[in-house]
Amino acid sequence: MTTDSSATKSSVVPAADRKGPPGWAEGLIGQLLAIALSLVGGAVIILMVGENPLHVFATLLRGAFGSTDRIAGSLLQATPIIICGVAACIALRGGLFNIGVEGQLYLGGFAAAWVGFSFAMPPVIHVVVAVAAAILAGCLWILIPALFRAKFGTNEVVTTILANYIAVLLTSYLTISVFKRPGGWSETDPIAVTARLPQLLPDSRLNIGLFIGIGLAIGLHLFLRHTSAGYAMGAMGANPKFAEYGGVRTRRNVFLILLASGAVGGLAGGVETLGVHHRFMEGFAPGFGFDGVIAALLANGNPIGMIGTALFFGALRAGSLLMEVETNASREIITVIQAFIILCVSAQILIRRRSGRTGERRWKF
Amino acid sequence: MTYAIEMQAITKRFGTLAANKDVTFSVRRGEIHALVGENGAGKTTLMNVLFGLHQPDEGVLAINGRTVKMDSPRTAIALGLGMVHQHFKLVPSLTVAENIFLGMEMTRNGLIDRKAQSAKVAELSSAFGLHVDPERRVMDLSVGIEQRVEILKVLVRGAEIIILDEPTAVLTPQESRDLFRILRSFTEKGMTVVFISHHLTEVMEVSDTVTVLRDGQVVGTKPTRELTEDELVRMMVGRDVSFARRERQPANGGTVLNLSEVCARDDRGLPTLRDVSVEVRAGEIVGVVGVDGNGQTELAEVISGLRPVSYGTISLAGTALENADPLTIRKSGLSHVPGNRLARGVDASASIASNILMGRHQTAPWVRRGIVRWSYVREQAGKLIRQFEIRASSERALVKTLSGGNMQKVVLAREFSQNMPFLLIDQPTRGVDIGAMEGIHDEIMRQRNSGAAILLISVQLDEILKLADRILVMFGGRIVGEVDPESTTEDEIGFLMAGRASSEAKVAS
């Protein structure tokens, strides 16, 4: 019983018919459709709590883009999502699924803060060492899932999800029991001024992390497009058996790709503590890692597209603050809208699988 | 005159391209009607229209003289149509009877009545000479028997008109003959058979009437006895095609590939290759035949480094390569056309150029200092598209938009253009048109004549007979015989393929 049927059968459908719009346009249409449907879903929920959806959405918009400060607020929220999105894109494009970005973010955040408040160093060097610590922590946090995946084929989705819980609780423990600031909240001592990331605007916590994120996304895009290693990685993501056959060292690369993804996840945490909070606080970055993963998925693993979706998620988060103050709609509406988006995206992936349009990217859910 | 099937002036368009243009296809009750044509000629579309999977844009359909609107396969089954697909849809862990009655179990007091099911299967088996044991598990059956189970599934659902899509692709010549006997018993009982094939010898042997499709149109419908095989090919392809054995110089090069006593295990850890020894010399084509699933795939995998070797040695151009990784083996001189091109041979979502790059993505001048020189890659891809006559809009065309034959040419173009001393070619023309097949065979012969050592694995016996200098027959993971293509017969190879040679030989001696 051969498995070659798809080739023989599909040849009946004329080639011209299967062209459709180019890949990226198709992706964009899908994204916009997902977002539009989700807003409609959100509107229904808002109606159910007795609010006017138009008013709520208008407030949301105003909260996100109403003034320079608010735009800065949106960008501030988007920054960790972009960096986490890059982490997720790296794995996705290599045919892997790192859902543990959240955990790597927590560990990276803690490691950077620890370097920030424990040591005295000259300005630039302090930042560099703290960022390096964040990257290293992210790497370490994905080391076991990466090794297991490469050695035994253990599904990385399961292992990285499990690592998330450990990361959140471990950093909580370290913050409350070991490094707690006397008399303060569940947070560590503030980091030294020398370890802070430069800010972009005088009255905002928006910092160069935004450019780090955008730079990484563009870098990943160029890497995939123009380098030999990026080509091999993309081939692994598109058809791992083809890559293996063509001489790509898939086992070794699986390990390296996951490590790189974890490193960027750790960096996201470092940027957040060094640039925004200037200390480590328990639960300092709720859901940024997951938002990054969703932003990457929504963009089909394309880092440039991911910047767009991450900015959208950032704006939603920022806008929801004003929405909560001025209307009766709770901030959780945003979570509802995001959940709708996830549903739409997974439905699209399913539909594409059904109609046999994939065989392309293999994400293991 | 009563017709079981009348399809009149059927047109089915996909977008702008018509897969069926004004097709009239009539099948008399009680005949075996062969539907032949190359891939993409519209056979499958026509059958999908008949079976209610596609709605025709124009045309009328009648079953047993009554005009019907075939809106779903359910309607088709209710009207007495049954389709036996090329790729079986059976549950290996269930028994024959359980598979046959899946979804329509016979029940008594709300419980499955196994006895009644088995009795019904036994009754149908003996009525049609389809001998199967209803209590056996499907996973223990051979492919030929599995096909009988598929046919029984259709019969149990009351089919009187049976459509078989490429039924002999996975069978030995002997199993095919058994199948034809069964098909004959159907028509003797007044049932009707539609037989889709591009294996013309069989069509000549078994059918009463032939309809030929080309480019979505009917070229002609004729009684089989008024046709010769050559005429049939001309109708299918639109020109003469030679099936003669290719001319060749004697091969006398040195050993390039040497496998000695190689053993390997399959994915479940069971032995799949046993003591396989093969030698391939420069300038010769060694053919490997066998029924699908007798170790040929695994043989290709151990040679190319995709499956570990548990015992034995492999050397390529003098380098020991057992359990080396695919990259090392490629660098030592392997080009590999994999048996399942969609699974291994291409990245369907990428462009032709990107597919051509695979395997040389670390080699200058394709890549310099880690940067892919896409302009060079595209230029080379463009050259290969012209050289191999790949029908595509440009080198940027996505591989998934190509037909099966053109996809295969992309794989061949990539592998053959590396000018490696050893070519491992697995199923080079699976799912490829007769017209395109010739071009592929020409290319393989060109590689042979320029001194490459070639191991050619194919389930298509005529292809091996046409191209190979020596033929090895595989059965149950072993090489059970070597025959000379100049002097062997299909029967001799067929017996070897069925694993019956040794006992037969003993009887003879």
Are B338 and A238 an interchain contact pair (Cβ–Cβ within 8 Å)? no
What tokens appear for A78 in the block? Answer: 């988007």
Q: Mean pLDDT score of chain B, rounded to an integer?
A: 87
What top-level class would CATH report for the domain B3-237?
A: alpha beta
State yes or no: pLDDT of A220 exceeds 50: yes
Whether a cis peptide bond, with omega within 30° of 0, leads into B365 is yes
**pLDDT 10s digits, A170-213:** 999 999 888 888 777 788 999 999 999 999 988 889 999 999 99
Domains B3-237 and B246-333+420-509 share a fold: yes
A residues 157-176 closer than 8 Å to B (CB): none
Q: What is the DSSP letter of B62?
A: E
pLDDT at B392 over 90: no
Whether B370 and A231 lie within 8 Å, measured CB to CB: no
Instruction: Report the pLDDT value the prediction gives residue A139, as an integer from 0 to 100.
Output: 96
* Domain spans of chain B, in order of start: 3-237, 246-333+420-509, 341-419
**What's A353's DSSP letter?**
H
pLDDT value at residue A16:
38
A355 in contact with chain B, both atoms CB, cutoff 8 A: no
- Give the mean pLDDT of A280-304: 89
Model confidence at B421: pLDDT above 60:
yes
DSSP-assigned beta bridge partners for residue B108: B111
SS3 at position B264: strand
**Using the beta-carbon criterion (under 8 Å), do B431 and A17 form an inter-chain contact?**
no
The shortest C-alpha distance from A232 to chain B (Å) reads: 8
B38 pLDDT higher than 80: no
Q: Do B19 and A14 touch (CB under 8 A)?
A: yes
**pLDDT tens digit sequence for B188-221:** 989 999 998 877 888 888 999 999 998 889 999 9
> For residue range A308-337, what is the model confidence (pLDDT) as tens digits?
999 999 999 999 888 888 888 888 888 888
ipTM of the complex: 0.80
Residue A244 has pLDDT above 50, yes or no: yes
Architecture of domain B246-333+420-509: 3-Layer(aba) Sandwich (3.40)
Please give the structure tokens belonging to residue A163: 């690592």
Using one digit for the tens of pLDDT, what is the confidence trace for B134-180?
888 888 887 788 888 999 999 998 899 999 988 887 777 788 888 99
Query: What torsion do the CA atoms of B258, B259, B260, B265 make, to the nearest 10 degrees?
Result: 170
- The answer to whether residue A181 neighbours chain B at the CB level (below 8 Å) is no
pLDDT tens per residue, range A81-124: 999 999 999 999 999 999 999 999 999 999 999 999 999 999 89
Tell me the mean pLDDT in the region B106-123.
Answer: 88
* 3-class DSSP state of B223: strand
The yes-or-no verdict on residue A152 having pLDDT over 50 is: yes
Residues paired with B63 in a beta bridge: B5, B66
Contacts of B444 (CB under 8 A, 6+ apart): B285, B423, B425, B428, B454, B456, B467
Is B431 touching A (CB cutoff 8 A)?
Answer: yes
Q: Which residues of chain B are within 8 Å of residue A239 when distances are taken between CB atoms?
A: 343-344, 346-349
Q: Which residue of A has its CA nearest to B407?
A: A7
Task: Please tell me the distance from the alpha carbon of residue B177 to that of residue B155, in angstroms, as a whole number.
Answer: 20
Q: Does residue A353 carry a pLDDT above 70?
A: no
pLDDT over 50 (residue A17): no
**Chain B residues within an 8 Å CB radius of A15:** 401-403
Quick one: closest CA in A to B414, which residue? Answer: A246
Whether the CB-CB separation of B352 and B395 falls below 8 Å is answered with yes
Question: Which pLDDT tens digit goes with each residue over B11-33?
Answer: 998 777 788 999 999 999 999 99
What is the chain A residue with the closest CA to B327?
A: A247
189-218 of A, contacting B, C-beta below 8 A? none
Decide if pLDDT at A2 tops 80: no
Interchain CB distance below 8 Å, B349 and A359: yes
Q: Which of B39, B371, B372 sits opposite A11 (nearest CB)?
A: B39
Is any Cβ of chain B less than 8 angstroms from the Cβ of A140? no
Confidence bin at A130 (pLDDT 50/70/90): very high
Q: Give the residue from chain B lying closest to A2, CA to CA.
A: B87
